[in-house]
Amino acid sequence: MNIEKYLDIQPEIAEAIAAGKPVVALESTILSHGMPFPENMEFAHNVEKIIRAEGAIPATTAIIGGKLKVGLSSDELDLMCKADNVGKVSRRDVAVYLATGKTGATTVATTMLIASLAGIRVFATGGIGGVHRGAEHSMDISADLQELANTPVAVVCAGAKMILDLGLTLEYLETQGVPVLGYQTDEFPSFYCRTSGFKLDFRADTPEMIAKIMKAKWEVGLKGGMVIGNPIPEEYALDYDYMSGIINEALKKAEEKGVRGKNITPFLLAEIKDLTGGVALASNLQLAYNNARLASKIAVAYADEK
């Protein structure tokens, strides 16, 4: 395997990884496909500040110029945020983007892959993908779930997006042997909402306990990652019944317009933003900041465990 040919790690991050210091991976799809410019640039800088304030080093990933980027320069970050000719790259697309030199924003699955290749074990995102509603007919299941089954990275998220079938998503993760921990909660969070109605088997009340579980999992040779469900802070949480109604309306519009596949999630999130008058986007920002904060604490605790 000739990974050095393709992997480009910023010096500060490479030094931290080599020294066993805490590093937190970040995706770039949220920048290129999840937010408008220049709000996405402000968000990117804020997330990095939060991670550094907690004693960890941020590592935003992307695919640029035939390289798997771990950490972006200011020009590269600008490129991702302006999002001109920037594709959305999942695992299946990685080889094509590397070989053609196309610019790609990393999804949860691709960020996990790149983080693992670089030796980073903690990743903060908004919400993971999962089993889509109606998947028994469409077979629409996010590549995030297979990545979690195979790639040793702990993913801190506000659960899965409410547009998904959360029950089937949890069943799929169980079948694949992926631990799903609730941080200071007994219930799987549902992105904009703190609750989902689905109880979890495992609750962890401290970053240190999560770090111990990570260490135990990988030291005994269990493959794959884990999910840490971190509920959105109460002051930014939206009502579950209200959001269910909004999402059903967005799903109906997607069906009417024939939106499917990799385009469905960005379409639904844009519809939800409009239907909620922008309130959903504000919540999205806050839950992402909250996840970055917890991921940093976990990375620090994991570095201490080692």
What are the catalytic residues? 27, 161
Quick one: DSSP state of residue 126? S
Q: Which two tokens stand for residue 15?
A: 């030094």
Q: Of 108, 93, 97, which is closest to residue 34 (Cα–Cα)? A: 108
Q: Which two tokens stand for residue 125?
A: 């995102």
| 3-state SS assignment for residue 153 | coil
DSSP helix/strand/coil, 185: coil
In this structure, are residues 183 and 230 in contact, taking their beta carbons and an 8 Å threshold? yes
| Selection from 91, 69, 127 nearest residue 272 by Cα | 127
- The first and second tokens of residue 108, run together, are 């949860």
**Identity of the amino acid at 56:** A
Nearest CA to 267 out of 247, 287, 285 is that of: 247
User: For the chain, what is the total number of helices (H) and then of strands (E)?
Assistant: 13, 11
Closest Cα partner for 119 from 11, 38, 194, 18? Answer: 18
Q: What is the CA radius of gyration of the chain?
A: 18
86-89/23-26 β-pairing: unpaired
Least Cα distance to 299 among 119, 111, 92, 106 occurs for 119
- For 299, other C-beta atoms within 10 Å of its C-beta total 29
Q: Specify whether the CB–CB gap between 185 and 142 falls below 8 A.
A: no
